[in-house]
Amino acid sequence: MTLAAFPLWILEHLYFGFVSDFEFRASNLVAAIGLHWGRGKDEEVTLENMTEMPSTLCAPDEEKSCFACCPPIRPPGYEHLQYTNEIKRVLRENSASLMRKEKSLSPITGFSCWALGYLDGGFKRIGCLLHPSQNDGEDQRYRVNYGDKCARESCVEAGIFTHLSPEAKSFWLRLSQGLDSFSYSSSTLNPLFRVLGWGGPLLNLVAMAEKGQDLDGNSILKTYSFFETSLSPRANAYLLRALMDSGNLDLLRNPQFRGRFEELSHRLSERLSLKVLSSSTAPHVHLLPMDSDFLDFLRLSGHILKAGEEEAISLKELVDHELAEFETQVAASLHHAEKF
């Protein structure tokens, strides 16, 4: 593999040269001793200054964390798994070299951040070394000179996870059992990211229905094989939520439901796109005062970017009518199929 095959941000870190094996092991030892739970190498590690990890999508437990959006300047389609070994070296170097008592600014260059490193001596959790949780509540993220972007940015999935019930959080995190931080941070390998796109209300409903059941991640996806659909969750969350509002999870558990639902989604998307009158003066649909999930369906599935409010309301009535008919027909047909 040539150097040209590596992204610019990897080359920036490797520019200073590879340390020798001895130096590398020594720097790792310094990081393990001085950076346990994110302490600097000029600070003493005590039980008092260890910070307990919050139960969030970013930091679900002590075995892993998500660093997919750090720093929040990654190019579209970026997948860190392609550069795992190189990134691991960079993270260890960042962790070992960070001076926590230093307060000066050091702007981010390229697609990497010098403050992204390992948060524990076991090199398991990866995150921001300047985050308040790593510095006794002091927010040092200003040092990367990126304004308030690092503190402000959060993925859509993290917001959905925040509003799940504690029981639902624990239930759905089973999908990521056994993943390390690199796999957990990958939307390709971590099924939790896709499932969260279906929305909090539905996921809370499923978790409540399975309360007391000792299902692991594989068993959850086997029981609810619908969640392995190739459809975009965010684009179709409105349709599924409407069908499940009655609490009828039997449909979701039926292996034949996924195919029928996919057909419905494609059919409605085509119908809507044909019914909209294109107008350059109409507002963008995401600005309309309507159900945000429905507006996502218009934009992401129907590819309708602009529409008047009356027109959007008419489209919603059409969709809701189709959903009511679909629920009646599919429930009856699936029940009939189960009898045979």
Residues in the chain: 340
At residue 277, the pLDDT reads 73
Q: Average pLDDT of 234-254?
A: 89
Residue 57: closest CA among 202, 245, 215, 203: 203
At residue 110, the pLDDT reads 73
42-51 contacts at long range (C-beta below 8 A, 24 or more positions apart): 42/99, 42/100, 42/101, 43/100, 49/136, 51/133, 51/134, 51/136
At residue 336, the pLDDT reads 58
Model confidence at 330, pLDDT cuts 50, 70, 90, reads confident
Whether the pLDDT of residue 91 is over 70: the answer is yes
Tens-digit pLDDT profile for residues 24-80 = 344 443 333 333 334 444 444 333 333 444 479 999 999 999 999 887 777 777 888
Compare 83 and 14 and report the one with higher pLDDT. 83
First to last CA, the chain: 57
Whether the pLDDT of residue 147 is over 70: the answer is yes
Model confidence at 4, pLDDT cuts 50, 70, 90, reads very low
Rg (CA), the chain: 24
Q: Average pLDDT of 261-290?
A: 90
**Structural contact between residues 81 and 186, judged by C-beta atoms closer than 8 angstroms:** yes
Q: Which of 68-72, 129-133, 178-182, 245-249 has the lowest mean pLDDT?
A: 245-249
Model confidence at 108, pLDDT cuts 50, 70, 90, reads confident
Compare 208 and 12 and report the one with higher pLDDT. 208
